A and B are shown apart, each in its own frame.
Chain A
């Protein structure tokens, strides 16, 4: 199973919105609504931000939203804050009881 494709970096100024893409195939992102997004600060464990494309776990600010179109999922962070600076990873169920991750995107708050 190939990794999902994410841009290596993204950036935005405080208060702005930024969108991170996650491109898979018709066998993973395109075929299942099991896309998740994780935030990871340096030296810390990942934190679930979005699951099932657009669901937010309790405690995650509504500034974080997810969507999907075809084989590409997206994470949008609105009203950027300094603490949003982190690595972000997407994942998708890939069929045959297999989970695949994206390579990660480093989000910089300018």
Chain B
């Protein structure tokens, strides 16, 4: 079964850092763009970042630009999100997701189970 498994969430103080990982299995990871989407408790979905299949192109929501960095290691079938200067408003479940096709589109068909990030003192 095609699967994504996030890890790395936890409790961090404001201004702190955290690195999320997303391990992919049973699909050709290196051929698909990947994205991070978050969901604050009781709220809707909020797009965070996207990386191309090679990792050569990366894109960010204005709310995280300059603080978060998306990256991938195609040799390890793993996606990352480095989060610095964390704020209370970054508290959310963070999902990684796979683009539905190998060509440019903005739908994502495989999602991980999510990892909770709590920013609080």
Q: Which residues of A contact B (CB under 8 A)?
A: 1, 3, 32, 34, 36, 38, 40, 45-48, 50-52, 55, 57, 89, 91-93, 97-104
Closest to A89 in B: B45
* Given known A-B contacts A48-B107, A52-B105, A57-B109, A98 and B100 have beta carbons under 8 A apart: no
Contact, CB under 8 Å: A99 / B105: no
Given A51-B105, A93-B106: 17 more A-B contacts, CB < 8 Å: A32-B106, A34-B105, A36-B108, A48-B100, A48-B107, A48-B108, A48-B109, A52-B107, A89-B44, A92-B106, A97-B59, A98-B47, A98-B59, A101-B47, A102-B44, A104-B44, A104-B45
B1 beta carbon closer than 8 Å to chain A: no
CB contacts (< 8 Å) of A104 on chain B: these are 44-45
Per DSSP, chain A at the interface is strand
Question: A103 vs B105: C-alpha distance in the bound complex, in angstroms?
Answer: 21
Per DSSP, chain B at the interface is strand
B50 beta carbon closer than 8 Å to chain A: yes
- The interface on chain B, measured as residues whose beta carbon lies within 8 A of the other chain's beta carbons, has a size of 22
CB contacts (< 8 Å) of B47 on chain A: these are 91, 98-101
Contact, CB under 8 Å: A91 / B44: no
Contact, CB under 8 Å: B106 / A38: no
CB contacts (< 8 Å) of A47 on chain B: these are 111
Contact, CB under 8 Å: B113 / A46: no
Q: Which of B21-51 contact A (CB under 8 A)?
A: 35, 37, 44-47, 50
Contact, CB under 8 Å: B111 / A45: yes
Q: How far is the CB of A68 from chain B (nearest CB, A)?
A: 14
Closest to A103 in B: B44
